[in-house]
Chains A and B, each alone.
Chain A
């Protein structure tokens, strides 16, 4: 008999979602959807707010990656007001944003995703989580918790507030870094890098080594990719750069973030509050058909590693080379998001050290005063979950006249729907529904870390 299965809520993800799977009379998967269940409307309710206040408001879009929204918003307001950020202000901003990537990746890999691999996809749900992991591998868990905490405290000690930060301001940064603070951060960052190396090694031995063909084809789809690259050399850049939109065949277009609306569009479906971005510029329209997708591209870690030409830090570059040798470019396997995430973890740690080693970071000039005025600004950064775009228009009073945003996770809404379909088709056969099968469908979603 035909029926609908509801996976609600989708768990161990950052947002709020539901999966519905329709089985037909023969028990075959006839349809499936990933529904986004809520919409808060930041684009609308920041209208009329003084633009310089907005970076402190939009951080609340996501409590896991508030630094990303904080950074993108500041960059957008800088442009609206025509502000010039002093060099040390810019360095502090990049430092904070890249540091925030570190704790985020540890959180996602170990707290959210790893239980599926370490405890097993079919383990009892009561232990298939970070607390179960803590019992099964107490030393590992203690180390992970300690290092994630250390990363958060490094941000907090310097910037005051780590969840929903306030230290970046239009025109720069609210406080300079003292030599003492720099020394402390350098020491902490060195430890974070050591831990990143350990994570990579641990994952390669215990998780990635076990990725067989089945695991690699979980939720497999073929799509294009989007990510920021450094315009100078096409290298990975989380903080700034040009957007690169790659087709499934590996060819790509680079464009200035301000032109994003010419390249990307957003679809609305009747069954999800989330909108579905697609590559408008490809001119093929939008379709989530597994066999013939149209306009579908992906964002987030795997996308960034696919679009970049290289990584300018040595350890991460070595990892990227190995990754490319094994999986090609662009790599399409959805499960590889996790691998790519750990390569980015190594990059983020190396990059943080690089920024801190620059002694001009302690320059006391960190902010130039700003003048409210009419303008438009598009702030773009790479958030852990994908390319983040904040586009603001201000009026003469420097208050927001209109705003548009595409947040990281949103880019992946169409691909996630496709991966869910793929995983459901593969895991549910002949009407046999097991907890493990349903968890596999969710694992396809978790790769994207939505």
Chain B
């Protein structure tokens, strides 16, 4: 019998779902073994009956062996969908960094909801100012939560988005009844750049001009970007973006520094704390870094990591 799969996106961007589609022909090959019973991006199963006349208090998700959820939890609807997914899926996968650590949308956790509403519905140049929408739309929660702040998560698949190789590995391992083999080291570990020690570095600079490298030569000949004085989050970020047999981390392939989109190396690590500590221990003045909280917790602001500043209260 085919494996029943349910998929949902909460406070998400659909990029994780596109990453699934980017399995390409591998997805077609897997398709006969999978039975997608629910996946709003691709198929038409509805929460409240196919005729839209169901009880709004009973959100329906079909039973499935495997559930994939992308996105964090931002409003009441997300919470209800997540709880229904948990209740109906045997194994629940947090798909993507929004689901595992809040992701980019959790940057809002540095602000109070009221500030957001004020700006969005009354402050923008093009706006005809009006009260916040409140009718028939799901109320906001106080902030953005990662899935495991609300329900139990069985498998964590971070990445913004996760590499298709690892999505395939998670599904295949499940089909074969084994633990998925996922990377657990840091991005630096998968990075081929040349490391010679930091030299006289006392500060890190903003990415206002390109890194120094010879475009005719491979990435393995480029000096580590952190050693070049650019902030690179590789040391404190979970490896994975280079895929199963990738040449280099994705951003490094474009010759730009890592910004930490796979979240911390350990699921409960703190990218900001670890990066500041790494810089400070190497004698780099951390005050030379602009936007420290928003920059270093760019992808992992859930779990109470990013909070409104007292001054903003």
Contacts and interface: CB of A to CB of B under 8 A. Distances in A.
Interface stretch (A129-137, A231-239, A301-309): A129-137
A11 B45 contact: yes
A37 B126 CA distance: 21
A404 interface: yes
B250 A160 contact: yes
A175 B254 contact: yes
A176 interface: yes
Interface in B1-30: 9, 11-19, 21-22, 24-25, 27-28
A261 interface: yes
- With a 10 A CB-CB cut-off, give which of B21, B27, B216 has the most chain A CB atoms: B21
B74 to A, nearest CB: 6
Given A8-B47, A111-B21, A131-B42, 14 more contacts: A107-B21, A112-B42, A129-B44, A134-B31, A142-B28, A149-B25, A164-B160, A167-B254, A178-B216, A266-B127, A272-B137, A273-B137, A397-B290, A438-B51
Interface in A1-49: 3, 5-9, 11-16, 20-21, 33, 35-41, 43-46, 48-49
Closest 7 CB pairs of A and B: A63-B15, A149-B24, A160-B253, A160-B254, A369-B209, A268-B130, A5-B52
A256 to B, nearest CB: 15
A45 B138 contact: no
Nearest to B294: A49
Contacts of B56: 6
Contact of B127 (A33, A36, A275, A435): A275
B11 A364 contact: no
24 contacts: A3-B53, A5-B52, A6-B54, A6-B56, A8-B47, A9-B46, A12-B44, A35-B137, A41-B105, A57-B104, A60-B104, A111-B21, A128-B44, A131-B42, A131-B43, A163-B161, A164-B161, A166-B254, A178-B215, A261-B125, A265-B126, A268-B127, A268-B133, A369-B208
A130 B14 CA distance: 17
Interface stretch (B108-116, B167-175, B184-192): B108-116
Contacts of B131: 268, 270
B195 interface: no
A63 B52 contact: no
A56 B25 contact: no
Interface string B29-68: 0010000100011111111101111101000000000000
Nearest to B113: A41
Interface residues of A, number: 107
Given A164-B160, A166-B251, A41 B116 contact: yes
A264 B124 CA distance: 12
B115 A44 contact: yes
A96 B13 CA distance: 20
A50 B111 CA distance: 17
A260 B19 CA distance: 34
